Structure 1
Amino acid sequence: MPRADFYLIAKPRFLTEPLKLVCELARKAYDANLWTLILARDAEQAEALDELLWAFDDEAYIPHQIAGTDEEDDLTPVLIAAPEFDAPARALVINLRDAAFEGACERVLEVVPADPAAREPLRERWKQYKARGFAVNKYDM
């Protein structure tokens, strides 16, 4: 059964920089040998994530790239996709976009902003995943 995990941002270090949580999730996935697709909200966010993943951890290198920047997309463990690029789904999808992920995957991670106004659409998304047969979980971060 596929899973949808919602990560609710609460800790101060993630409140100011929510993309740091995305980097941590990507690192855990890479350490677990899970090939990951990160669906960025826009090209600017994709670039910011790309930069942050380079500098995120001095101890660990997370092989990543922005989808469509070269021919090696399918050889890179962590692929960051802006909306204009239609990247194939992977076992793990980290979704930063406004709509629920529609493709097939083993697990989708939704990063939920601390802003209460942003939480209402995510309640709707929670219902959508449940209706599609996903096991749904919530984690406070």
Structure 2
Amino acid sequence: MADRQGWLIASMPRADFYLIAKPRFSERPLLLVCELARKAFVTQQPTLILTRDFEQAEELDELLWSFDEDAYIPHQLAGDDDDADTAVLIAPPGVDAPARPLIINLREQCPPSHGDRVLEVVAADPAAREGSRLRWREYQRLGFEVNKHDM
């Protein structure tokens, strides 16, 4: 079953791998993360973005303000008292964040806790794709429905 935006509503947990191929995203992979966050916000899905490090979290925070002057996506770095009220939380390693139904994972490992859906953004670099294959198999082992999308 699909929602109004075309995102599938699954009865089992789902992991979607977005493989970056287009030059627009290969040059700035965080643009794809912004697009996914916008789509989640429009469909009213509270989202947690797990970044690789604090620098990536700050870069994404800035980019969400500026990537599209017509889009406003309420977001913040995780760790404040109002985390539960913010549509999109950005969490670097070591920062606790409340569970969310949708997780965008930019880390090398699967999230320690899973929502209903995990989005994996995979860079065009062949070395990065090897780690994504390991995560793919881990999600399958955990009973997730796993899908791939070429971007």
TM-score range, shorter chain: over 0.9
What is the aligned partner in structure 2 of residue 51 from structure 1?
62
1:87 Cα offset (Å) = 1.1
Gaps of 5+ in 2: 1-11
> Which SS does the other structure have where 1:104 is aligned?
coil
Asked if the contact 2:83/2:98 (under 8 Å) is kept, the reply is: no
The 4+ residue runs of structure 1 with deviation greater than 6 A are: none
The residue identity in structure 2 corresponding to 1:93 is I
Alignment pair present for 1:113 and 2:123: yes
Q: Deviation per CA, 1:46-75, whole angstroms, max 9, x where unpaired?
A: 00000000001111100000011x321111
Gaps of 5+ in 1: none
- 1:54 & 1:15 partners in 2: Cα distance? 20
Please list, as runs of the form range in 1=range in 2, the aligned pairs for 1:37-116 lying within 5 A after superposition. Answer: 37-68=48-79, 70-116=80-126
TM-score normalized by the length of structure 2: 0.91
Match of 1:21 among 18, 32, 35: 32
What is the aligned partner in structure 2 of residue 130 from structure 1?
140
CA RMSD in angstroms, aligned pairs only: 0.7
> Which SS does the other structure have where 1:47 is aligned?
helix
TM-score normalized by the length of structure 1: 0.97
- 1:133 & 1:79 partners in 2: Cα distance? 26
What is the aligned partner in structure 1 of residue 6 from structure 2?
none
